[in-house]
Amino acid sequence: GQNIDQPTEMTATEGAIVQINCTYQTSGFNGLFWYQQHAGEAPTFLSYNVLDGLEEKGRFSSFLSRSKGYSYLLLKELQMKDSASYLCAALDSNYQLIWGAGTKLIIKP
Amino acid sequence: GAVVSQHPSRVICKSGTSVKIECRSLDFQATTMFWYRQFPKQSLMLMATSNEGSKATYEQGVEKDKFLINHASLTLSTLTVTSAHPEDSSFYICSAKTGGEGETQYFGPGTRLLVL
């Protein structure tokens, strides 16, 4: 079956760095997305990786290893507003998005 | 760019009534729109995929006669929850993409439905 695994919850300190991991098992693979979702709001797009390696976008970076079925989202210089859920989603061979349950990130002062 | 709007943002209705939710792509033409449902503290659950001018494709377990989807134009899709019941109370979110395989989905702000 198809499956996305990511930690349920993580806690980090304001100003620090946090890495949110995601492993995936899908029938075929056409890329991996990260979305941010604040409580009570819809997800917003953060990144898309389809090739191996690191994509940097400001304070956020996303990494992909297709051979390992693994991705991570790296958040630097954490701010209180980064407290949110981070959703990992993989695109399978039918270009359907398979969603993870999300990682709730709690930022402490 | 890639802004998606949803209306209404919040609706409270009585059991047995029907509720229509609109999803619009404001600055792009969306060949494909998706409807999701999300219960508290759970991940997104895809309900259906709709392509402009054709019938929606529903996910397994989603009743097509209860959740009517109409994608009448390249910028508008509607979801009608017919004969709503309290168990239909949820956060309904639409997303849209411009077309082509692997295109990023952009989400609307969501509609919170409460059925009394």
Q: What is the pLDDT of residues A40-99, one digit of tens each?
A: 889 999 999 999 999 999 999 999 999 999 999 999 999 999 999 999 999 988 888 899
In this prediction, residue B55 carries a pLDDT of: 87
Beta bridge pairs of residue A99:
A89
Per-residue confidence at A31, pLDDT binned at 50, 70, 90? very high
Averaged pLDDT of chain B: 91
B47: closest CA of chain A, how far (Å): 12
Reported residue count of chain B is 116
Residue pair B106/B3 in contact (Cβ under 8 Å)? The answer is yes
Question: Between B2 and B47, where is the model more confident?
Answer: B47
DSSP E strand boundaries for A1-109? 3-5, 9-13, 18-25, 32-37, 44-49, 53-57, 60-65, 70-75, 84-91, 97-99, 103-108
Q: Is A48 on the interface with B (CB under 8 A)?
A: yes
Checking if the pLDDT of A9 tops 90, the result is yes
Residues 6+ apart with CB under 8 A from A81: none
User: Between vectors from CA B87 to CA B84 and to CA B93, what angle results, nearest 5°?
Assistant: 75
| Residue A74 at interface with chain B, using a CB cutoff of 8 Å | no
The predicted structure's pLDDT at residue B1: 64
Q: Chain A contacts of B109, Cβ < 8 Å?
A: 41-42
Residue B102: its pLDDT value, please? 63
> Which residues of B fall below an 8 Å CB-CB distance to A?
6, 42-44, 46, 91, 93, 101-102, 104-110, 112
Is the CB of A27 inside 8 Å of chain B's CB atoms? no
Residue B101: pLDDT over 70:
no
pLDDT at B25 over 70: yes
Question: Which of chain B's residues have a Cβ under 8 Å away from the Cβ of A100?
Answer: 43
Close Cβ partners of A71 (under 8 Å, ≥ 6 residues apart): A21, A22, A23, A24, A32, A34, A49, A62, A63, A64, A65, A88
The tokens for A41 are 């709001």
The residue of chain A with its CA nearest to that of B35 is A42
Q: What amino acid occupies position B90?
A: S
Contact B96, B23 (CB under 8 A): yes
Longest CA span, chain B: 40
Q: Name the residue of chain B whose CA is nearest to A4's CA.
A: B43
